[in-house]
Structure 1
Amino acid sequence: MSVPPCQAKAEFFRMLGHPLRIRVLELLRDGPMPVRDLLAEIEVEPSALSRQPTAPRRSGIVASAREAPAVVHGPAGGDAAADLPRAARRILTEMLSGQNAPLAELREAEVAAR
């Protein structure tokens, strides 16, 4: 039995639902990186990092390979995985920029009320 598209999408977004996974995807947007380089950039315990690529790897957006002596993670599926953090950044920028005007109006009203 196949999974309905909306359920598959929900599972996909749940898979992305951890800040460390998002950071890994951001770092991999320019290409594969050895785990040691990811650790240096993220500054987390190796055990914390080793758990995070599992879900994206199962989803097919991160690929891993052993290149002696290191494990290297990289984006899978072409540009789609690299575009995810960019798309999220654009959406958040638009959402947050829409909040600046009401915030400025509130601040102006507060100053005028003094």
Structure 2
Amino acid sequence: MTTPLHQLKAEFFKTLGHPARIRILELLSVREMAVGEILTEVAIEPSNLSQQLAVLRRAGLVSTRKEGSVVHYSLTSPQVAELLLVARSILTQVLSEQTELLDGLRADAKASGRSRITRGTR
């Protein structure tokens, strides 16, 4: 029995569901990086970075290349970088709409004379 596509997609997005993994993928979208470089940029404990990189490797999103004792990581597909750009675009649109809504609410409050309600003021 094969796994349904929607379940595979859910597992894929679950893999992306950690801020450190997203940050790692964003960095690797720019260029291949050594583990030490990633560690400096992501600012997490080395053991945690190792775990996050292992998750990304198992998911097939990153690959490794060893040069002496240094391990370099890169994206397995440029489509991963494209996915991150699409996510950024969607979030920008959603946040823009929320900002417009907030601006409208503030304008309504100001027009009705309730521009600011402060704690303890009667």
Give me the TM-score of the superposition, normalised by structure 2: 0.86
Aligned CA RMSD, in angstroms, stands at: 1.2
Could you tell me how far apart the structure 1 residues matched to 2:6 and 2:42 are?
32
Q: Which residue of 1 aligns with 2:63?
A: 63
1:13-40 superposed Cα distances (whole Å, 9 cap, x missing partner): 0011000000000000022100111111
Q: Deviations over 1:15-73 (max 9, x none)?
A: 11000000000000022100111111112211111110112211211112222221111
What SS is found at the alignment partner of 1:72? strand
Matches within 5 A, 1:47-58: 47-58=47-58
Name the residue aligned to 1:82: 81
**How many angstroms apart in 2 are the aligned matches of 1:59 and 1:49?**
15
Aligned match of 2:15: 15
The one-character-per-residue Cα deviations of 1:74-113 (angstroms, maximum 9, x if unpaired) are 1003x11221221110110111111122100111122222
The structure 1 segments of at least 4 consecutive aligned residues displaced by more than 2 Å after TM superposition are none
Q: Which runs of 5+ in 1 are unaligned?
A: none
TM-score, normalisation: structure 1: 0.92
Q: Which has the higher contact order (CA 8 A, sep 6+)?
A: 1
Matched residues in 2 for 1:3 and 1:81: separation?
22
Larger Rg: 2
Q: How many residues are paired up?
A: 113
Matches within 5 A, 1:8-47: 8-47=8-47
Q: Secondary structure at the match of 1:53?
A: helix
